[in-house]
Amino acid sequence: MVRYYILGVVLSLIGISLGYLLLPSVETLALMNLRDQDYATALALFERQLEGEGRLPDSAILPLSNLYLQNGQVEQAIDVLEGFLKKNPDHLEARKELGKLYQYAQRPMDYLENLEVLHRLEPTMEVLQQLANLYSYSANIKKQMQILEEMQKRYPRHVGGYRDLARLLMSAGEFERTVAVLMEFKGRISRGLDPESLQMLVYALLNLGRKDEALAEARDWLKWQSGGGGGIGMVTELLQQGGSAELAWLWVEDLRRMMPDSMEVLLQWGRVAAATGRGGLAWPVLEEAYRKGRLSVVGVALVSELAARMRWFGKSSKVLASLPEGARPEWLQLFLGQAIVVDGGTFVARGALEVLERQFLERYPVLAAELHLRAGSTVEVFQEWLGRGRRAALEPEWRLRLASLLVRIGRTGEGGEILMALARDSGVVDAVYRELVGYFIQSRDVAGGLKFFEEVARVRGGRVIEESWFLLQISEGTREAACMTWFAGRAEMSNGFLADVANRALDTRQLKLAAAAVERLMGQPLEDPLNLNGREWRGRVLLEARLDLARGRPMEALNRLKPMRHLLDADGHRFYEEVVIASWRARKPVRNEVMGVVQSRLNTPWMAITPEERREYGMLALELGERGMGVRAFLASAAVAPPESPEVAQVLYVLGPRPDAEGMAWLVGRAQKADDHDLAGWVNILTHVGASRQAVFIASPRLPPPGGNTPLTDAFLHALAEEGDVQRMEKILARETQASPSIDRLQALAKLAEEKNLPKSAGKIYQEILVKDPDDKTALKRLGYMAFYAGEWENVVGYLGRYLSRYDDNYEPFFYLAEVYRSLGMVEKAKPFYLKALARVAKMEDPPYTVRVAWVRMYQRTERWPEALKGYAGLLREAPDDARLRADYVELLLARGMTKEAENVLYFAGVR
């Protein structure tokens, strides 16, 4: 009896143990609650397991992260994924999820770092595009160029990056590569280049000396611009300045032939005609347009200029007089007056004096005196204007002309005195030469400036000439050693000259020379010993701070400037802000100072800043954690920007994938106020950020008639798709199909319908395409695929058979058609298509898993048993959980009489 009791106890314990083992784990319970949408319980269970065991299984990481995100606990979600990725840095799905969370948390630097890892793991088109945008935003040109080049190689059919890459290459002076990229871009699109791309292509070809090619490309582009197009004027200017006037003439002649009614083209043609000495050819055409009143003020000015160039001064004056006073261009009055002084007679001079405005003559009294002399005016009138000229504070050019005029009328003594005064007046000469130095530097013609001063030094030496030459030599930026030698050999230098040397050396990053100049300047006494106005002392401190900043020591520069920040002028304040920001970038403890700079720039009404500067300060505010201030800065900088502009793209990046209430209100407001041209872009943006309902509400009453404003129609269809309004989409697609005369538009509609899972609408559109073009490649292929998925085998044979009889393709259509023939019992007819599909797959490099599965099945269909068996075995090792693959493999083994091998496959799969 006791034995039975003991046996019962033992059996009870065993049952309890087995029952305990069958209890679900905490992770299983959490996942069950998550499946039942009991998110709070699931989150509590996950956290309990994390507290108890200190870790979570890999399968629980993404669910837990999503639960935190649903609760608005973005940082906790980030912590979970970051901890997981420390041990599994190459986990692709976790990386993608972490990138979304970084966007939600507004952590741009972390988002960029994570995106770079994603680029290494899976360089998709989307990842490359985002990286290129981020590098562009952070001004990392080198990396942006690398990404765009990679995008071009990996995804050559994606044309979006070509223009950006070409722009970067051109700015770097790599014109050969610019031409190559733009030509490849041109080959990828169905129509001609856009105006900006054409301008880059023409500019690059001209810089390479390939003028005929530049003209040929411009002419080729013009074929697509029969209705006019932006960029024509810029191309004319490029060809005229970078090529030659004759090259520009060939171009504008083409323009005239293609757009004979365009006033813009007419004016360009007239300007080039004047520049190439073809005024006689252009004059009748422009005069006729002038008489008919078809010309604007600019056009009338061109007619007057052309007449003056042809020395028809009377006609020129008459045309100029037709413009009301105040609208007569000063440059034209100056050109006409000087031309009459040189080549005109008495009567035309009198006529010009009646046409030239009184205010103009008062600004140029010497020219007025010359015209009165030419016109034979009374001595009193001439003397009056001559006296005005002598009393006026004239520029050296006009003082020389005054002296020449006095000599011409016999007053050689007075004229000679002016010339001698110009030669002896060191103050005037110094200013002129220093201004010449600035001119040569700003026009980037330092070599020409050096040559000029070397020639001047041969006839007139002196300290000012030598110092001006030295400043230009510093500005060249490549002769620091020679400049140091010259500088060390000079015993005496003025404070002003030393300051100029230091500034020019700092501008060209010649730090040794700059340091030597600053050291020498600081060792010399102030020109204002009592420092009554403080300007000279402040200038020295600013120079020392500039040198510190150039040496990479922003905090030292900031400490120099802090005591005198309230004494700085506007330029000094700008430099102080630059130093503060540089210190922040160097991770120095200057948050309060940076915050003060940002607030003063963004919140002070009278502080005028450009949109670019506003975005820079907005990004600083975001870095400081002041999200509201930063976002408002970006919104203000894009207040009038169109939806496709970089400014709006930056706003969307800052707002993130799901903008807050303030950002959404801004986007909706811009959409409501948009004109018909921009509305499509704003509708697309609203749809992208999850506001498709607002997009539909705004666009619905402004929908164009069928066939009109296709971008807005397409944007509206995308918004309806997000809302799931299939019925309205089908109606609009049907309406657009009937109104669309072009196959390109119909194909775009069909593609949109397919993307939005509307196969019936897509099929109807493709049928309409075949009515217009029975051999359309895309329509035949897509209709064949649709029939295949719908099980309409006869239609598959009809469409894909016609398609493959006319066009070549990859393995897929051959495989589909073969499968249909096999299903219809036409095995022998299927084999040639299987063989063609096999041949195309064999040429593929590293085919994906789905293609390899089809490959093995084709071996089976063509009775190539060894290759089929080997292929199934390899695929099953790669994907042991693919039940369909396993069933096909077992079926083949049984068909080949390999029962034992089939049993083994089922056994290892857990089938008993």
For the stretch 367-397, pLDDT in tens is 888 888 888 888 788 788 877 877 775 676 6
Q: Is residue 658 classed as helix, strand or coil in its secondary structure? A: coil
C-alpha 431/C-alpha 97 separation (Å) is 64
**Residue 424: per-residue pLDDT:** 45
Instruction: Please determine, for residue 651, whether its predicted confidence score (pLDDT) is greater than 80.
Output: yes
Across 147-151, 186-190, 309-313, the highest mean pLDDT is recorded for: 309-313
* Residue range 728-771, pLDDT digits in tens: 888 888 888 888 778 888 888 888 887 888 878 888 888 888 88
Question: What are the DSSP calls for 675-721, one per residue?
Answer: -HHHHHHHHHHHHHTT-HHHHHHHHGGGPPPTTS-HHHHHHHHHHHH
**Residue 480: per-residue pLDDT:** 84
**Residue 356: per-residue pLDDT:** 87
Instruction: Please determine, for residue 428, whether its predicted confidence score (pLDDT) is greater than 60.
Output: no
**Residue 606 pLDDT class (50, 70, 90 cuts):** very low
* Structure-block tokens of residue 346: 């008495």
**Residue 408: per-residue pLDDT:** 64
- Return all residues near 370 (Cβ < 8 A) that are at least 6 apart: 337, 341, 401, 405
**Residue 22 pLDDT class (50, 70, 90 cuts):** very low
**Residue 19 pLDDT class (50, 70, 90 cuts):** very low
Contact 105, 74 (CB under 8 A): yes
Burial classification of residue 613, based on how many CB atoms lie within 10 Å of its CB (0-12 exposed, 13-18 middle, 19 or more buried) = middle
Instruction: Please determine, for residue 18, whether its predicted confidence score (pLDDT) is greater than 60.
Output: no
Mean pLDDT of 845-853: 85
633 or 790, higher pLDDT: 633
**H helix or E strand, kind and range, residue 452:** helix 446-459
683 or 22, higher pLDDT: 683
Instruction: Please determine, for residue 36, whether its predicted confidence score (pLDDT) is greater than 80.
Output: no
**Residue 670: per-residue pLDDT:** 92
C-alpha 833/C-alpha 821 separation (Å) is 9
C-alpha 815/C-alpha 812 separation (Å) is 5
Across 383-397, 425-439, 845-859, the highest mean pLDDT is recorded for: 845-859
7 or 737, higher pLDDT: 737
**Residue 666: per-residue pLDDT:** 92
**Residue 100: per-residue pLDDT:** 65
**Residue 84: per-residue pLDDT:** 66
Give the range among 175-189, 766-780, 798-812 with minimum mean pLDDT.
175-189
Mean pLDDT of 268-291: 76
Contact 82, 65 (CB under 8 A): no
240 or 128, higher pLDDT: 128
C-alpha 252/C-alpha 268 separation (Å) is 7
790 or 137, higher pLDDT: 790
Instruction: Please determine, for residue 9, whether its predicted confidence score (pLDDT) is greater than 50.
Output: yes
Instruction: Please determine, for residue 717, whether its predicted confidence score (pLDDT) is greater than 90.
Output: no
528 or 798, higher pLDDT: 798
* Residue range 189-226, pLDDT digits in tens: 666 666 666 667 777 776 677 777 766 666 666 666 55
Instruction: Please determine, for residue 99, whether its predicted confidence score (pLDDT) is greater than 50.
Output: yes
Give the range among 22-26, 644-648, 760-764 with minimum mean pLDDT.
22-26
Q: Taking the CA atoms of 257, 258, 262 and 265 in sequence, report the sign of the dihedral they define.
A: negative
222 or 37, higher pLDDT: 222
Residue type, 649: A
For the chain, which domains are there? 25-122 (1.25.40.10), 864-912 (no CATH)
**Residue 685 pLDDT class (50, 70, 90 cuts):** very high
C-alpha 885/C-alpha 689 separation (Å) is 40
759 or 641, higher pLDDT: 641
Identify which of 479, 469, 524 has the alpha carbon closest to the alpha carbon of residue 499.
524
Residue type, 757: N
Mean pLDDT of 243-268: 69
**Residue 221: per-residue pLDDT:** 65
Q: What is the largest CA-CA distance in the chain?
A: 154
Burial per residue of 133-164, b for 16 or more beta-carbon CB atoms within 10 angstroms, e otherwise = bbbbbeeeeeebbebbbbbbeebeeeeebbbb
* Residue range 783-817, pLDDT digits in tens: 887 877 778 888 878 888 888 888 888 888 888 88
Give the range among 395-409, 724-738, 765-779 with minimum mean pLDDT.
395-409
Give the range among 77-81, 410-414, 576-580 with minimum mean pLDDT.
410-414
Instruction: Please determine, for residue 435, whether its predicted confidence score (pLDDT) is greater than 80.
Output: no
505 or 260, higher pLDDT: 505
**Residue 157 pLDDT class (50, 70, 90 cuts):** low
**Residue 239: per-residue pLDDT:** 62
C-alpha 649/C-alpha 156 separation (Å) is 24
* Structure-block tokens of residue 1: 């009896």
Identify which of 712, 687, 685, 691 has the alpha carbon closest to the alpha carbon of residue 700.
712
**Residue 533 pLDDT class (50, 70, 90 cuts):** very low
> Is-above-0.85 flag for pTM?
no
Q: What is the mean pLDDT of the chain?
A: 76
Give the range among 57-66, 150-159, 314-323, 369-378 with minimum mean pLDDT.
57-66
**Residue 20: per-residue pLDDT:** 42
**Residue 530 pLDDT class (50, 70, 90 cuts):** very low
**Residue 470: per-residue pLDDT:** 83
**Residue 669 pLDDT class (50, 70, 90 cuts):** very high
Instruction: Please determine, for residue 838, whether its predicted confidence score (pLDDT) is greater than 90.
Output: no
C-alpha 641/C-alpha 250 separation (Å) is 37
Instruction: Please determine, for residue 101, whether its predicted confidence score (pLDDT) is greater than 90.
Output: no
* Structure-block tokens of residue 128: 């490359």
Residue type, 711: P
Across 109-118, 345-354, 635-644, 818-827, the highest mean pLDDT is recorded for: 635-644
